[in-house]
Structure 1
Amino acid sequence: MGYGVFIHRSDSIYDDSPAERYQFPSQYFGRVQACVGDWIIYYEPRKVADTKGYFAVARVQQVINDPSVPGMFLAIIEPGSYLDFARPVPFSNDAGVIERGLLNDAGAISGRAQSAVRALSPSDFGRIVSLGLDQAEPLLPRNDPELPVDGFAEEQTPFVFEEARERTSFLSSRIVRDRVFRQVVLRAYDERCAVTGLKLINGGGRAEVEAAHIRPVEASGPDVVSNGIALSGTAHWMFDRGLISLSDELEILISRQANDADGIRGIINRTGRALVPMRGSDRPHPHFLRWHRENCFKH
């Protein structure tokens, strides 16, 4: 087992779904196989417009032959392991290249930087994850500002995984995941409710909007921004209970079982469609919307 970097573009020609699978050709089989049972970091190349850099972490469960494309393989991502970074990490910063294993003996960037799949040292993995999940920016609101979060304080120093169980516990922590997911979704939606269009800030300067999973975690919904939507408390309550849903075209649907359909229409933004993030890959994925309509929405 070992850490790795998987390059993924939002406009990829491959049949990738980062929270579920990563498609790759045979030339990378050995490198991907070496990551089975361990964590990888997704990276979007610098040449991509508005690149996210290192943008997520996930755990590889197994590698299988792609049943639909001869000669291709799929790295299956362990359900529930994918997590978008709260802060996408650039390729380099003032201190230099973040992934230092890419430097050759002369200190220049080696050809390894062009590899779609490459091994990642434990120190580079820890550095990237530390920067990506940094909480210098508060993940708010919280119910108890004095409650520590698994040792993950507001002012954080870089951490080092001393044992495998430590990294697994940290990256799998539901508390950490919920707070990171909230920050990622609220940033994507500019802290504005997708249904009402309202951007309400409380007396402490904190957004009242909540981050909702479209397909819940309890139903194997991943912590990926395209499975999230920013909703006010009332809209969130209605969404979870199936009184409202979204079409693939993001039209806001109202259940026939709602006892105050006119009242619901009164709080929906004037377009009748959900407001969405600017970045296309952050928008609600039809796969998750379909699940919500089929399993939650009261037709």
Structure 2
Amino acid sequence: MVKLVLLHKAESIYDDEPDVVYDFPRTYLKAVTEAVGDWIIYYEPVKAGPRGYFAVARIGKVIPKPGFEGRYLALIEPGSFLPFDRNVGRLQDGRPLESALAEADGTPRKGGAIQLAVRRLPDAEFARIVDLGLPQDLERIDAMRYGPGDGFHEEGLPFTRPVVERLTHRPFRDVAFRRKVREAYDYRCAMSGLRLRNGGGRPEVQAAHIRPVAQAGSDSVRNGLALSGTLHWMFDRGLISVAEDCETILVSRNKVPGEVVGRLLPADGKLMRPVHGRDAPHPENLRWHRENVFGQMLMDAPASWDGL
């Protein structure tokens, strides 16, 4: 197995969906096949956008692309994709993070390897890029952002966890997902539009998976919605969803009183868009929620709306 860097351009001719599939030509078949079962890092080239290295995932399988001679699909292992908390530039202190992109004296190369869409990546360089994008002490950073958190102390040293163990550790992934989703919506609830903070300044908005990880959902921002606690609860129980137009909020009218709708949702009944269009909920994730959750889950007990 081998780790790779995969170039991704949002508007390229290839049908990439970073948390699901990577589309590539025969030229890179050998390298991508060698990477099956191992980790890759996504990179957005400078001319395509400002993100640089922006996410990590694991390749589960490689298949020919149906109907396209000479094209192949790398299927991303479900639950492995994770966006970086901090985008990482190709250069650090003027030197490439990938040794393959550096001259003998450490200065950046021009052309050649830098233009390859698939590049092999040594384990040490993979670990360094991940450490920059997903700091080892991310959980502590998040807990301390708005003041000391339970169980965290400023003088304590962060626990050092091997990089791959960290990428598969659910609590770590939950923190990374929550931070990216809330940031994507500017800490506002995507349905009510409200930005609420507690007395210490901590955002009250939560990060909801549209398709749960347990149901093959990913930790992509496009599988998330920033929601208030009440709306998150309603969304998970199928009381609300989002229509096929990806913006109209659907309400299970036989379960949610009209006055509750008026208090919780905007008058136009539309979903608030994230700051960047690339972070908008994926239509397929919303379709899955409509077909598998909306209006189909039974309440454990009659809902009480009196406190709203």
Q: TM-score, normalised by structure 1?
A: 0.89
Equivalent position to 1:185, from 181, 195, 202: 181
2:146 corresponds to 1:145 = no
Corresponding residue number in structure 2 for 1:240: 236
Corresponding residue number in structure 1 for 2:99: 100
2:108 corresponds to 1:109 = yes
How many residues get paired? 287
Report deviation, 1:89: 1.0
Report deviation, 1:93: 3.5
Deviations 1:191-226 (A, max 9, x none): 100011110111111100000000011111000000
C-alpha distance in 2 between matches for 1:54 and 1:154: 30
Report deviation, 1:106: 3.7
Q: Answer whether contact 1:59 1:77 (CA < 8 A) is retained.
A: yes
Q: From the superposition, tell whether residues 52 and 85 of structure 1 become closer, same or farther in structure 2 (CA, over 3 Å).
A: same
Identity %: 46
Give the residue type in structure 1 aligned to 2:65.
Answer: D
C-alpha distance in 2 between matches for 1:185 and 1:68: 35
Q: Secondary structure at the match of 2:46?
A: coil
Q: Answer whether contact 1:101 1:121 (CA < 8 A) is retained.
A: no
Give the residue type in structure 1 aligned to 2:103.
Answer: N
Corresponding residue number in structure 2 for 1:81: 80
Give the residue type in structure 2 aligned to 1:22.
Answer: Y
Q: Secondary structure at the match of 1:236?
A: helix
C-alpha distance in 1 between matches for 2:151 and 2:55: 26
Deviates more, 1:202-211 or 1:265-274: 265-274
2:263 corresponds to 1:263 = no
User: Mapping of 1:97-246 within 5 angstroms?
Assistant: 97-110=96-109, 111-134=112-135, 135=138, 137-138=141-142, 145-147=149-151, 166-246=162-242
Deviations 1:6-54 (A, max 9, x none): 00012222111111110100001111112111100000011124x2111
Deviations 1:87-112 (A, max 9, x none): 11112243632333310214332321
User: Mapping of 1:67-78 within 5 angstroms?
Assistant: 67-78=66-77
Q: Secondary structure at the match of 2:188?
A: coil
Give the root-mean-square deviation of aligned CA atoms.
2.3
Report deviation, 1:137: 4.5
Q: Answer whether contact 1:210 1:233 (CA < 8 A) is retained.
A: yes
Q: Answer whether contact 2:83 2:177 (CA < 8 A) is retained.
A: yes
Q: From the superposition, tell whether residues 154 and 10 of structure 1 become closer, same or farther in structure 2 (CA, over 3 Å).
A: farther
Corresponding residue number in structure 2 for 1:253: 250
Report deviation, 1:156: 5.5
Deviations 1:225-279 (A, max 9, x none): 0000000001101111111111132111111332313311332123321112121
C-alpha distance in 2 between matches for 1:154 and 1:216: 34
Report deviation, 1:140: 7.7
Q: Secondary structure at the match of 1:118?
A: strand
C-alpha distance in 1 between matches for 2:258 and 2:181: 27
Corresponding residue number in structure 1 for 2:295: 298
Q: Secondary structure at the match of 1:88?
A: strand
Corresponding residue number in structure 2 for 1:281: 278
Q: Answer whether contact 2:186 2:275 (CA < 8 A) is retained.
A: no
Give the residue type in structure 2 aligned to 1:215.
Answer: R
Q: Secondary structure at the match of 2:6?
A: strand
C-alpha distance in 1 between matches for 2:156 and 2:182: 18
Structure 2: gaps (5+ residues): 297-308
Q: Secondary structure at the match of 2:62?
A: strand
Corresponding residue number in structure 2 for 1:2: 2
Moved over 4 A (4+): 139-142, 153-157
C-alpha distance in 2 between matches for 1:35 and 1:93: 26
Query: Which of the two has higher C-alpha Rg?
Result: 2
Corresponding residue number in structure 2 for 1:59: 58
Q: From the superposition, tell whether residues 232 and 155 of structure 1 become closer, same or farther in structure 2 (CA, over 3 Å).
A: farther
Corresponding residue number in structure 2 for 1:30: 30
Q: Secondary structure at the match of 2:202?
A: coil
